[in-house]
């Protein structure tokens, strides 16, 4: 299982929200590159970079930060947040993203998301399957849809999706544990899916549990920033 540290961006700064609430914002570092280099120096090779300004606005905003991190680190960056058009996607890839995550676009403009899959392939396009109360949440988690999680994933797997980031919005940023039961069901039902667990990861033991469930990856954000999981502790996953 790969460990994927997260950097969330507002005004170009490294922040974390609680349960996706923009009013519950904490700034951890004003220099995302410094944070990314710290992750890289610990042996981590992947990075989940989220443009929270873009997610709220509906178009890419923090692409210069993406470009800076892609230029000055060797990390494989998955970029998400506000990618709603072909132009947004072009900018993200030209600025150095190795992969992008599309969630809102897969709900509100599925034909566009499908065209991205067909053009760039399933290795570069990740499905964002973020959920709240069992239903898909979009638009920076500000909007809950009526689409249930499993049918949503099943639909896009049938269209060629092979990787999905699945975040329980209700647990994100609380450091009270992730949706282990949900991930257990998903990994059992869809063993061919590269499932990346996200939201609420709070301890090294929990990472071991997610690994034992055969999750492809786990995104860690606040647990790193708050010292609940130390970068020196993750060597067994590298």
Rounded distance between C-alpha atoms, residue 23 and residue 116, angstroms: 33
CB atoms within 10 A of CB 204: 16
Rounded distance between C-alpha atoms, residue 99 and residue 171, angstroms: 25
CA distances to 25, 105, 166, 232 from 59, in Å: 21, 11, 21, 36
- CATH architecture type of domain 2-233: Alpha-Beta Barrel (3.20)
Please state the pTM of the whole predicted model: 0.94
pLDDT in tens, the chain (238 residues): 999 999 999 999 999 887 677 887 899 999 999 999 999 999 999 999 999 999 889 999 999 999 999 999 999 999 999 899 999 999 999 999 999 999 989 999 999 999 999 999 999 999 999 998 889 988 656 667 889 999 999 999 999 999 999 998 887 777 778 999 999 999 999 999 999 999 889 999 999 999 999 999 999 999 999 999 999 999 888 8
Residue 129 and residue 103 in contact, taking contact as beta carbons nearer than 8 Å: yes
pLDDT, residue 170, reads: 82
pLDDT, residue 139, reads: 67
Which positions ≥6 away from 180 have C-beta within 8 Å? 206, 209, 210, 213
Distance of CA 190 to the CA centre of its chain: 19
pLDDT, residue 18, reads: 74
Q: Which residues are catalytic?
A: 8, 130
**Sign for the pseudo-dihedral over CA of 169, 66, 204, 186:** positive
Rg (CA), the chain: 16
């Amino acid at each position: 299982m790969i460990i994927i540290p997260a950097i969330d961006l507002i005004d170009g700064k490294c922040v974390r929200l609680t349960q996706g609430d923009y009013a519950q914002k904490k700034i951890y570092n004003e220099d995302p590159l410094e944070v990314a280099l710290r992750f890289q120096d610990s042996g981590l090779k992947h990075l989940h970079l989220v443009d929270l300004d873009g997610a709220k606005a509906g178009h890419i905003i923090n692409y210069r930060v993406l470009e800076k991190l892609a230029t000055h680190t060797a990390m494989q960056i998955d970029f998400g947040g506000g990618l709603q058009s072909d132009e947004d996607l072009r900018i993200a890839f030209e600025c150095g993203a190795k992969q992008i995550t599309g969630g809102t676009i897969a709900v509100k403009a599925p034909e566009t998301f499908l065209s991205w899959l067909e053009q760039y392939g399933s290795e570069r396009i990740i499905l964002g399957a973020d959920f709240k109360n069992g239903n898909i949440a979009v638009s920076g988690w500000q909007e809950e849809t009526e689409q249930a999680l499993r049918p949503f994933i099943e639909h896009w797997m049938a269209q060629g999706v092979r990787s999905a980031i699945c975040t329980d919005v209700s647990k994100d940023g609380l450091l009270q544990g992730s949706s282990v039961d949900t991930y257990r069901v998903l990994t059992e039902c869809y063993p061919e899916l590269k499932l990346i667990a996200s939201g609420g990861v709070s301890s090294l033991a929990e990472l071991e549990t997610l690994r034992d469930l055969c999750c492809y990856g786990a995104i860690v954000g606040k647990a790193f920033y708050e010292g609940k999981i130390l970068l020196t502790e993750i060597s067994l996953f590298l």
